[in-house]
Amino acid sequence: MLIGSNSGPQKIFQKSLFTMSSYDLRLKDLDQVLESEVIDLSKLREFCFNGIPDVKGYRSLCWRLLLNYLPCDRNKWDEQLDHHRKLYQQWLDEILVTPGSFDNEECDHPLSEDPNSKWNTFFKDNQALTQIDKDVRRLHPELSFFQQATDYPLSNVVYSSGTKRLNRRVGMHFLNSANVVRKGLGIVKITPKAEQTSTSEFKPLEEGSEAHWEVVERILFVYCKLNPGQGYVQGMNEIIGPIYYCFATDPIIKMKEHAEADCFFVFTNLMSEIRDFFIKTLDETDTGIVNMMRKVTERLKENDPVVQSYLVKNEIYPQYYSFRWLTLLLSQEFSLPEVLRIWDSLFSDSQRFSFLIDICCAMIVLIRDQILAGDFSTIVKLLQNYPNVETRVILNKAAELSVKNRDEESSGI
């Protein structure tokens, strides 16, 4: 059920104990799957579930496929990519304008009370930007990657004397006289005053270059503008981070140079599946986070009732740990390379995100002895700072649980 009917995940994981030559064989397998004119998605899932090789840009290509950005029909790839990259560019052109830069806007001005005033929207957007900015500056600070310059900066942004950098707009929530100069008759121009409230190392780069975190900031802002009902919620930075990292480090240059646009679409597709985790009013619905936490508890109860009741007895509620695990697809619990590996399996799950539940359950079961020996604070600490357990071990355990779960379901238990 999870991946093709004749091969359970358990079998696949056993296959992963490969030697060097079988590694080459594996690459050949993957090439074969990817080379066919119309890619067999279930074969691809079956392969990727076991981990995508960290070479030749396989991961970035497979994620594009698994998250339905690229169609299975290879003949359609060029057109699809071209179309979407142009579309993204068009959105950027529309979204990244500062009011006042149009000539025909003389009746619009920063003090306008017209709700359709571009200025009004501008100031409102800046509030969302403020939150995005705080979060992208706190994205994987343990890596230097996000603070480094991208090879593909957006030229009209980086050669604007700073005026088009989104982080310049942070803090400009309302009209601040110092920000606005009048140019001649009625035409108002905004000159953003750099307001740097963060002390972090995440500094915007010099004229002509921009850091990866600035690119991520722009993608999130575009997403936020195009999904006004939802807006930006903290944690989305942790979802986009690994995708962007994967695309922006692609060894295939002709993919890497489009990391920004492609990341936008893949992130959007992924968000469409997990959006409900981020919306407070949907907490209690079927697809909301409360129900997901309940599923983890239930799965744990089926597999390790002793630990589950010990947690209940000690009043260790799921919102102390599985809330974050689930909302962020575990991206804050493990290091980035481990997250990439875990996401290979998550994205290969045709019943997303059933395998995520299995992983969460496995994580608890694997440290059951420590849990059972602990009191309230040690357990909460343990679950909030998950100990060093090898990803392979966790995934194997999760696969084992998912097989068991599936067998029990089919035999009607």
Ligand X SMILES: Nc1nc2c(ncn2[C@@H]2O[C@H](COP(=O)(O)OP(=O)(O)OP(=O)(O)O)[C@@H](O)[C@H]2O)c(=O)[nH]1
CA distance 216 to 33: 31
243: partner contacted, choices another protein, ligand X, none (Cβ within 5-8 A by kind): none
Q: Which stretch binds another protein (CB under 8 A): 89-97, 197-205, 254-262, 342-350?
A: 197-205
Residues 342, 359 contacting (CB under 8 angstroms): yes
Instruction: Determine, following the binding rule CB under 6 A, whether residue 200 of this chain makes contact with ligand X.
Output: yes
Is 230 among the residues that bind another protein (CB under 8 A)? no
Among residues 138, 189, 301, 352, the one that binds ligand X under rule CB under 6 A? 138
| Cβ-based nearer residue to ligand X, 176 or 198 | 198
Of 197, 272, 285, 370, the residue at the interface with another protein (CB under 8 A) is 197
Q: Judged by CB, which is closer to another protein: 69, or 267?
A: 267
Residue at 237: amino acid letter: N
Say whether residue 370 binds ligand X (CB under 6 A). Answer: no
The beta strand positions in 295-380, using DSSP E, are none
Residue 284 sits at φ, ψ, to 5 deg, of -90, 0
**Selected range binding ligand X among 195-203, 256-264, 270-278, 293-301, rule: CB under 6 A:** 195-203
**Per-residue contact string for residues 129-168; x = within reach of another protein by CB under 8 A:** --x--xx--xxxxx--------------------------
Region of 197-205, 321-329, 361-369, 405-413 interacting with ligand X (CB under 6 A): 197-205
CA distance 228 to 24: 47
Answer yes or no whether residue 155 interacts with ligand X by CB under 6 A: no
* Amino acid sitting at position 291: N
| Structural tokens at position 339 | 């997250």
Q: Is 284 in the site for another protein (CB under 8 A)?
A: yes
Helix (H) or strand (E) holding 189: strand 187-190
Our CB check for another protein shows the closer of 284 and 390 to be 284
Q: Output the CA–CA distances (angstroms, integers) from residue 349 to 3, 44, 81, in the order listed.
A: 7, 11, 24
Is residue 297 close enough to count as binding another protein by CB under 8 A?
yes
Integer CA distances (angstroms), 89 to 95, 113, 163, 260, 261, in order:
10, 31, 19, 10, 8
Q: Which of 70, 293, 360, 398 binds another protein (CB under 8 A)?
A: 293
Positive or negative, the CA dihedral 76, 82, 83, 87 is positive
Of 110 and 171, nearer to another protein (C-beta) is 171
Task: Let me know: does 252 contact 57? Beta carbons within 8 Å.
Answer: yes
What distance, in Å, lies between the first and last C-alpha atoms of the chain?
17
Locate all alpha helices (DSSP H) within 137-211, ordered by sequence. 155-158
The number of residues that bind another protein (CB under 8 A) is 53
At residue 340's C-alpha, the angle toward residues 269 and 239, to 5°, is 40
> What residue 201 binds from ligand X, another protein, none (CB within 5 to 8 A, per partner kind)?
another protein
Q: Could you give phi then psi for residue 182, rounded to 5 degrees?
A: -95, 135
Binding site for another protein (CB under 8 A): 131, 134-135, 138-142, 171, 173, 196-201, 233-235, 237-238, 278-280, 283-284, 290, 293-294, 297-298, 301, 308, 312, 314-315, 317-320, 323-324, 327-328, 332, 374-378, 380-381, 384
- Which residues contact ligand X (rule: CB under 6 A)? 138, 198-200
